[in-house]
C-alpha cells in the first residue's frame, strides 16, 4: 500500500496569510528581518513547499544575545511588577486560545501531526503553560533567616535573607515533535522568573514558533525579552550553546545532541536542563483490565505517530494475557487510518520527514533480519508515512529494543514474574517514563517504586499537565520542567547576610 495525497490548504485566514507572506524573518530586539541565507520547510505529507526561513548563524546569535542582555537589565522588563508579568503571561495564553485554529493548522502542516492532536491537545497545553506560570509570577519569594553566627560586634545583630533572581539570558533550543508546546514549556517559566530568551526552534518545524513570538509581542512583551532565531542546530544552535553571554541552555531533544551540549556549555559553566530521549516501557500485569489497557497502551505508542519522547516503545505483558493482548494491540494498530494531518478522517499523519520514515524502516527491517516477527504494520508506505507497527519475538540486545526509534513502532515481550519484568524494564540506558497497567494496588505501588524513570503512570500513559514535574533520569536528561521545580531552573538564589 502506498499513500498518494493531495495538498490540504489551510482553512483559516491567519494560516493562509502567514504562509503567503513570503520568507520568514528572525527577531532580534525589536527588529524582524529576513536574512539572505535561507532554508526551506515542507509539508511532510505531500512534499509541498510551505515557506522559506531565515538561516541564522553566529553573527545573529551574537546580536540576539546582546539584545536579550540589554532587555534583562532594561527598566521595561527588570522593573516590571510581578502582577504586570502575571497579566502579560495570561494575555499570551488568551492570544494562543484566540488563534488556536490557525496555530493548529500551521502545526499540522509543518510537523505532520493531525489537526485534532494540535487543536485539542498541544495548542491548549501551550496556553496552559502560560497560565500556570502566570499564577506563579506573583509568588516568587525568598526567605528571611536568623543565622547562628555569634561573632558580630557587641550590641549588633546578624540577619539574612535570600533573593531569587532571574538566571539571565536563556537559550531555549527545541525539537520537532511538539514544536509549540516544547517552546512554551521553556518560555513560560523563563519569563515568569524574569529571564530573557533567545528561542531556537527545530529547523524542520519553526512556523508556530514565529507565530507564537508575534503573539507575545502583540500581548505587550517588551523588545528584546524574547528573540527568535531560526536555523540549523550545528550553526546557530551551536553558537548559542557556546555563547558566553548565555547563562543557561534549556534544551529538549536527542540524547546525542544533549551530550554535545555538555561540551558546548563548559566555557562559562552554563546551567543546563536537558530533556532527552527515552525508551519507555509499558507493563501489563495479569489482572489488568484489557478493555482499557489495550487502547491505552496503543495510544501511548501510536499518538503523534510515535514521535513522543515518552512513547511506550517496549511493552511487557504477563504471559497469561500475552496472546490476547497482542491480538488486541495488532487490531488497534491496523485500524488506525493514515492520511494528511488536516484531513479529518486521519487518525495519524506522516512522520516529520521522509528521512525519519526511512530511519524507522531501518530499525524494523534490522529487527526482522535478526528474527523479530512483525504482527502489524512493518511497511514504509512511501514519503514520510510509516505504518503503525507491532513486533514480537525480539531479544533485549536488538537495536530496536535499545535505541529510540521515534516512530510508530513497539515491541511486545512476555514475562512471568514482577522481578523479571522490573529487570527487563530497567534494562535500558534511558529513564524517562513508564506505565503500569494493573488493578492491584500492591503491584501498582511496588512497580512504580522499582522502575527507574522520571515519571511512572498507572493505568494511563502520556498524561501531562503543567502541575506535574516532567524530567528524565539516566541518559534521559537533567532537571525537570513543569511545576514549581520547573521555575527554579530559571532562578538563582542570592543570600544577603548583614550586621545591623
Ligand atoms: P535533536 O536533538 O536532533 O534537535 C533538537 C534541537 O537541537 C533542534 O533545535 C536542533 O536544531 C538543535 N541542535 C542540533 N544540534 C545542535 C548543536 N550541536 N548545538 C545546539 N543545538 C543543536 O532532536 P529532534 O530530532 O529535533 O527531536 C527528537 C528528540 O527529542 C528525541 O530524541 C526525543 O526523545 C527528544 N524529546 C525529548 C523530550 C523530553 O521531554 N524528554 C520531549 C520531546 C522530544
Q: Inform me whether the pLDDT recorded for 448 exceeds 90.
A: yes
pLDDT at position 5: 81
Where in the sequence numbering do the catalytic residues fall?
Answer: 275
Dump pLDDT digits (tens) for 171-182.
999 999 999 999
Q: What's the mean per-residue pLDDT of the chain? A: 97
> Residue 306: CB within 6 Å of ligand 1?
no
**Cβ atoms < 10 Å from Cβ of 148:** 6
Q: Could you tell which of 112, 122, 233, 307 is best to mutate to test the pocket of ligand 1, judged by most ligand atoms within 8 Å of the CB?
A: 233
Cα dist from 427 to 136, 368, 410, 485, whole Å: 38, 21, 16, 28
Q: Inform me whether the pLDDT recorded for 347 exceeds 90.
A: yes
Could you tell me the pLDDT band of residue 205, with boundaries at 50, 70 and 90? very high
Q: 454 CA distance to ligand 1 centroid (A)? A: 18
Q: Ligand 1, closest atom to CA 432?
A: 41
- Residue 377 CA to residue 368 CA, distance in Å, equals 12
Relative to beta strand 280-284, strand 312-318 is parallel
Contact by Cβ (8 Å): 192, 83: no
pLDDT at position 2: 57
Q: 257 CA distance to ligand 1 centroid (A)? A: 6
* pTM > 0.95: yes
Q: Ligand 1, closest atom to CA 249?
A: 20
Q: 203 CA distance to ligand 1 centroid (A)? A: 10
Dump pLDDT digits (tens) for 350-373.
999 999 999 999 999 999 999 999
pLDDT at position 128: 98
Question: Which residue did the predictor score with more confidence, 52 or 6?
Answer: 52
> Residue 309: CB within 6 Å of ligand 1?
yes
Q: 499 CA distance to ligand 1 centroid (A)? A: 49
Complete domains list, the chain, with CATH: 13-276+477-497 (3.40.605.10), 281-465 (3.40.309.10)
> Residue 472: CB within 6 Å of ligand 1?
yes
Amino acid at each position: 500500500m502506498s499513500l498518494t495525497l493531495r495538498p490540504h490548504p489551510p482553512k483559516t485566514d491567519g494560516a493562509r496569510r502567514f504562509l503567503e507572506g513570503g520568507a520568514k524573518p528572525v527577531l532580534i530586539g525589536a527588529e524582524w528581518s529576513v536574512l539572505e541565507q535561507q532554508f526551506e520547510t515542507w509539508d511532510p505529507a505531500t512534499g509541498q513547499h510551505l515557506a522559506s526561513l531565515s538561516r541564522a548563524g553566529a553573527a545573529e546569535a551574537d546580536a540576539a544575545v546582546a539584545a536579550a542582555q540589554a532587555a534583562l537589565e532594561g527598566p521595561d522588563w527588570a522593573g516590571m511588577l510581578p502582577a504586570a508579568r502575571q497579566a502579560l503571561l495570561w494575555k499570551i495564553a488568551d492570544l494562543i486560545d484566540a488563534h488556536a485554529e490557525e496555530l493548529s493548522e500551521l502545526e499540522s502542516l509543518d510537523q505532520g501531526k493531525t489537526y485534532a492532536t494540535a487543536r485539542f491537545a498541544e495548542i491548549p497545553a501551550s496556553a496552559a503553560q502560560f497560565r500556570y506560570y502566570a499564577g506563579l509570577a506573583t509568588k516568587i519569594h525568598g526567605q528571611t533567616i536568623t543565622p547562628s553566627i555569634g561573632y558580630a560586634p557587641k550590641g549588633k545583630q546578624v540577619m539574612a535573607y535570600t533573593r531569587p533572581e532571574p538566571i539571565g539570558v536563556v537559550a531555549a533550543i527545541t525539537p520537532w515533535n511538539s514544536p509549540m508546546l516544547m517552546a512554551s514549556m521553556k518560555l513560560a517559566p523563563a519569563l515568569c522568573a524574569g529571564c530573557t530568551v533567545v528561542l531556537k526552534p527545530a529547523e524542520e518545524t519553526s512556523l508556530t514558533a514565529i507565530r507564537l513570538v508575534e503573539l507575545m509581542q502583540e500581548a505587550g512583551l517588551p523588545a528584546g525579552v524574547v528573540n527568535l532565531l531560526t536555523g540549523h542546530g550545528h550553526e546557530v544552535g551551536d553558537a548559542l550553546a557556546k555563547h558566553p553571554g548565555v547563562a543557561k541552555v534549556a534544551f529538549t531533544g536527542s540524547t546525542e545532541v544533549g551530550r554535545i551540549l555538555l561540551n558546548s556549555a563548559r566555557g562559562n559553566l552554563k546551567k543546563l536542563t536537558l530533556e532527552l530521549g527515552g525508551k519507555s516501557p509499558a507493563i501489563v500485569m495479569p489482572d489488568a483490565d484489557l478493555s482499557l489497557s489495550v487502547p491505552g497502551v496503543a495510544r501511548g505508542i501510536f499518538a503523534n505517530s510515535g514521535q513522543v519522547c515518552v512513547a511506550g516503545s517496549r511493552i511487557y505483558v504477563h504471559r497469561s494475557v500475552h496472546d490476547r493482548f497482542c491480538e488486541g494491540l495488532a487490531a488497534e494498530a491496523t485500524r488506525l487510518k493514515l492520511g494528511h494531518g488536516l484531513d479529518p478522517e486521519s487518525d495519524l499523519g506522516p512522520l516529520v520527514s521522509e528521512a525519519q520514515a526511512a530511519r524507522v524502516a531501518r530499525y524494523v527491517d534490522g529487527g526482522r533480519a535478526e528474527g523479530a516477527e512483525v504482527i502489524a504494520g512493518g511497511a514504509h508506505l512511501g514519503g514520510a508515512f510509516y505504518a503503525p507497527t507491532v513486533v514480537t519475538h525480539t531479544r533485549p540486545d536488538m537495536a530496536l529494543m535499545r535505541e529510540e526509534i521515534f516512530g510508530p513502532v513497539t515491541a511486545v515481550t512476555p514475562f512471568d514474574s514482577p522481578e523479571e519484568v522490573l529487570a527487563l524494564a530497567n534494562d535500558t540506558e534511558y529513564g524517562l517514563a513508564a506505565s503500569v497497567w494493573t488493578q492491584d494496588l500492591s503491584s501498582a505501588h511496588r512497580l512504580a517504586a522499582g522502575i527507574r524513570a522520571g515519571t511512572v503512570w498507572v493505568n494511563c500513559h502520556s498524561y501531562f499537565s503543567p502541575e506535574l514535574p516532567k524530567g528524565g533520569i539516566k541518559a534521559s536528561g537533567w532537571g525537570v520542567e513543569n511545576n514549581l521545580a520547573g521555575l527554579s531552573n530559571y532562578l538563582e538564589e542570592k543570600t544577603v547576610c548583614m550586621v545591623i
